[in-house]
Amino acid sequence: MVGQYTHAAVWSIIAESMLGFGDKALDLYRMITPIEHARTKEAAQKYKVEPYVISADIYSNQNLARRGGWTWYTGSSSWYYKAGIQYLLGLKITNGIMNISPCIPKDWKEYKVRFKWKKSLYNIHVENPNRKNLADEGTKVFLENEQIGSDIRLEDEDKIYNIKIIL
């Protein structure tokens, strides 16, 4: 039995995403999801912490094996959130500019994200007809059915924007 130091596990997800290995990144993401440690009554009794809170550690020593530790007191949850949103789904915002560059499993046909920025709502639909892990030169980005570049300036208007990305 191997223990888990969650900060390092999450950084592994980010690294796999940065390398373009979307299938591996999602496998690791699912592996450290708290509910995965408490799917059965037996597993929950060993895990002993909340199945809806990421723990900083999963112990491996004898009588503590598979027990979670340091819930509610870890920065791992913010890194886990960041790994999912920014590195798997690819939603990154810098200085009011949104760029969506996912690293997803090849078998994901599509996914959708609803993102609120100030007064605006962005409906993002990513399609993956060619079974890619990553956005590349052939990726097309549409804002309100008009093809644009990969950077989307976020607006502070009481408006709904529709974005479609085809990998």
Residue 103's CATH number: 2.60.420.10
Residue with tokens 């994200």: 113
CA distances from 100 to 50, 130, 167 (A): 32, 17, 11
Distance from first CA to last CA of the chain, Å, rounded? 39
Give me the pLDDT at residue 117, please: 96
Among 80, 109, 141, where does a domain finish? Answer: 80
**Cβ neighbours of 58 (radius 10 Å):** 24
Among 80, 115, 139, where does a domain finish? Answer: 80
Residue numbers of the domain that contains 148: 97-166
Tokens of 85: 């949103």
Give me the pLDDT at residue 1, please: 58
Give me the pLDDT at residue 96, please: 96
Number of domains making up the chain: 2
CA angle 88, 90, 93 (to 5 degrees): 140
| Cα atoms found within 13 Å of the Cα of residue 65, Cβ hemisphere only | 6
Strand partners, 92: 99
pLDDT in tens, 116-157: 999 999 999 999 999 999 998 899 999 999 999 999 999 999
CA distances from 102 to 28, 118, 134 (A): 16, 23, 6
Residues 12 and 67 in one domain: yes
Residue 73 pLDDT exceeds 70 = yes
pLDDT in tens, 9-50: 999 999 999 999 999 999 999 998 888 888 899 988 888 888
Enclosing H/E stretch for 97:
strand 97-100
Residue 57 pLDDT exceeds 90 = no
Give me the pLDDT at residue 51, please: 86
Residue 66 pLDDT exceeds 90 = no
Residue 56 pLDDT exceeds 90 = no
Widest CA span in the chain: 60
Residues 102 and 161 in one domain: yes
Residue 99 pLDDT exceeds 90 = yes
**CA pair distance 114, 118, nearest whole angstrom:** 13
